[in-house]
Amino acid sequence: MALFDKKKKSETELPENLPQHVGFIMDGNGRWAKKRGLPRSFGHREGAKNFKKIVRYCKDIGLKNISFYAFSTENWQRPKDEVDTIMDLFREYIVDVRNHLSENTRMIFLGDKSIFDDDLREKMIKLEEDTAHYTEMTLMMAVNYGGRDEIANAARILAQNVKDGEMNPEDINEESIADCLYTRGIPDVDLVIRPSGELRLSNYLIWQCAYAEYYFTDILWPDFSPKELDKALIDFDGRHRRFGGV
């Protein structure tokens, strides 16, 4: 295994074959707090801190596309104070984002933004526009995101295009569907990392994960460290991906 990049800051020797897109499911915040006798909201605060740490590390080691599942279309069912805390964390992050994101990082929000307050939505869109030309790394945060919802949305866009005479039903294919997803232009997910011991995808990027590899660990998200990410990347490097072939 060769060192892949001079600027890499990992203590571990990382493989050259890094995934093009790593998806993180930030699970286990609630349990992290409960184990310490704290309210669940504390767990989300720690989770948001760890998100920042891991994003920086991903940039340092040269990952190109990283996405984080921060809030699903189903998460609105949680207690109001918990939802409020997570929304506050988004707001705080967006205000502070320039201090966190180093130069040349593009930011995209995956999900249906129409549900958010106008000011929050406008800030999200402005951030996407302001960073659209950056090329070193793309950071995606999934908020009010659901994989089925995303595909239904793509179907609506394509149906409207057909209705407007802009395309024919026969033109609908995998490529035209992918072009209507929030991840348009972003490579499919190669590696999904889910901490906290749960072994499922939970409606995360279900189209884009069609051929993804999975890395599960019992560690809870606030404790998920750069070292653990190194382990996942080395594990990924050892997988034999066949994409349906032999």
Catalytically annotated residues: 27, 75
Alpha-carbon span 210 to 208, nearest angstrom:
6
Q: Specify the stretch interacting with ligand FPP by CB under 6 A; choose among 68-76, 103-111, 145-153, 199-207.
A: 68-76
Using CB under 6 A as the binding rule, whether residue 31 contacts ligand FPP is answered as yes
Residues between 121 and 160 with contacts to ligand FPP, criterion CB under 6 A: none
Using CB under 6 A as the binding rule, whether residue 195 contacts ligand FPP is answered as no
Least distance to ligand FPP from the beta carbon of 147, Å? 15
Using CB under 6 A as the binding rule, whether residue 75 contacts ligand FPP is answered as yes
235: helix, coil or strand? helix
Using CB under 6 A as the binding rule, whether residue 194 contacts ligand FPP is answered as no
- Say if CB 41 and CB 81 are below 8 A apart: yes
Query: What are the φ/ψ torsions at residue 62 (nearest 5 degrees)?
Result: 90, 20
- Say if CB 194 and CB 219 are below 8 A apart: no
Alpha-carbon span 165 to 145, nearest angstrom:
30
Chain centroid to CA 2: how far?
Answer: 28
Angle between helices 40-61 and 226-237 (to 10 degrees): 60
Using CB under 6 A as the binding rule, whether residue 48 contacts ligand FPP is answered as yes
Using CB under 6 A as the binding rule, whether residue 86 contacts ligand FPP is answered as yes
Residue with tokens 């033109």: 171
Least distance to ligand FPP from the beta carbon of 19, Å? 20
How many residues lie near ligand FPP (CB under 6 A)? Answer: 18
Using CB under 6 A as the binding rule, whether residue 28 contacts ligand FPP is answered as yes
Using CB under 6 A as the binding rule, whether residue 26 contacts ligand FPP is answered as yes
Structure tokens at 43: 């767990």
Using CB under 6 A as the binding rule, whether residue 54 contacts ligand FPP is answered as no
Least distance to ligand FPP from the beta carbon of 197, Å? 9
Least distance to ligand FPP from the beta carbon of 126, Å? 17
Q: Which is nearer to ligand FPP, 95 or 159 (CB)?
A: 95
User: How many Cα atoms occupy the beta-carbon half-sphere of 145 within 13 Å?
Assistant: 25
Using CB under 6 A as the binding rule, whether residue 93 contacts ligand FPP is answered as yes
Cα 113 to Cα 54, 58, 202: the distances in Å are 24, 26, 20
Q: Which is nearer to ligand FPP, 10 or 29 (CB)?
A: 29
Using CB under 6 A as the binding rule, whether residue 27 contacts ligand FPP is answered as yes
> Nearest-CA neighbor of 15 among 243, 236, 227, 187?
236
> Nearest-CA neighbor of 105 among 58, 169, 156?
58
Q: Specify the stretch interacting with ligand FPP by CB under 6 A; choose among 82-90, 108-116, 132-140, 183-191.
A: 82-90
Residues that bind ligand FPP (CB under 6 A): 26-31, 44, 47-48, 51, 70-71, 75, 86, 89-90, 93, 196
